[in-house]
Amino acid sequence: MSRLTLEAKYLGAMIGSAVGDAIGELAFHYPERNKLAQVVEGVAELRYTDDTAMAIGLATSLTNKGHLDGQDLGETFRRSFEQEPWRGYAAGPPTIFTMVRSLGIPYAQAAQSLFNGSGSFGNGAAMRIAPLGLFFHDSLQIYELACDSAEVTHAHPVGKDGAALQARAVAQAVKLDPQKEFLVDFFVRDLIDFCRTHEIRGKMELLEELLNENINPPLAAKQLGQSVAVQESMPFAIYSFVRHPRSFEDCLDCAIMHGGDRDTLGAMAGAVSGAYLGVQAIPSGWRRKLENRQTIEQLALELAESTVSSRQRAVGRGQRAVDRGRRSEVRDQREEDH
Ligand code: F2R
Ligand code: MG
Q: Where do the domains of the chain lie?
A: 3-300
Residue 156 has pLDDT above 70, yes or no: yes
pLDDT value, residue 225: 97
Q: Does ligand 1 have an atom closer than 6 angstroms to the CB of 261?
A: yes
Please, what is the angle between helix 262-277 and helix 234-243, to 10°? 40
pLDDT value, residue 330: 41
Cα angle at 20 between 229 and 276, to 5 degrees?
Answer: 100
Q: What is the distance between the terminal CA atoms of the chain, rounded to a whole angstrom?
A: 48
pLDDT value, residue 338: 43
**Ligand with the closest atom to the CA of 49:** 2
What's the pTM? 0.93
Task: Tell which residue, 263, 222, 220, has the closest CA to residue 238.
Answer: 220
Q: Does ligand 1 have an atom closer than 6 angstroms to the CB of 81?
A: no
pLDDT value, residue 322: 47
Selected residue with higher pLDDT from 113 and 322: 113
Residue 82 vs residues 11, 98, 101, 114, 293: alpha-carbon distances, Å: 27, 10, 12, 20, 21
Whole-number Å distance between alpha carbons of 320 and 287:
43
Q: Summarize pLDDT for 160-203 with one digit per residue, the tens.
A: 999 999 999 999 999 999 999 999 999 999 999 999 999 999 99
**Alpha helix stretches (DSSP H) within 225-292:** 234-243, 248-256, 262-277, 284-289
Residue pair 230/163 in contact (Cβ under 8 Å)? The answer is yes
In the chain, the percentage of residues whose pLDDT exceeds 90 is: 89
Atom of ligand 1 nearest to the CA of 91: 23
Atom of ligand 1 nearest to the CA of 261: 45
**Superfamily covering domain 3-300:** ADP-ribosylation/Crystallin J1 (1.10.4080.10)
Q: Summarize pLDDT for 261-317 with one digit per residue, the tens.
A: 999 999 999 999 999 999 999 999 999 999 999 999 999 999 999 887 776 666 666
Cα Rg of the chain (Å, integer)? 21
Whole-number Å distance between alpha carbons of 219 and 7:
36
Phi and psi at 122, nearest 5°, equal: -65, 165
pLDDT value, residue 325: 52
pLDDT value, residue 2: 43
Mean pLDDT value across residues 226-242: 98
Q: Summarize pLDDT for 64-78 with one digit per residue, the tens.
A: 999 999 999 999 999
Whole-number Å distance between alpha carbons of 206 and 223:
8
Decide: helix, strand or coil at residue 122. strand
Which of 48, 84, 107, 120 has most ligand 1 atoms within 8 Å of CB, for mutation? 120
Closest protein CA for atom 37 of ligand 1 = 115
Phi and psi at 322, nearest 5°, equal: -60, -45
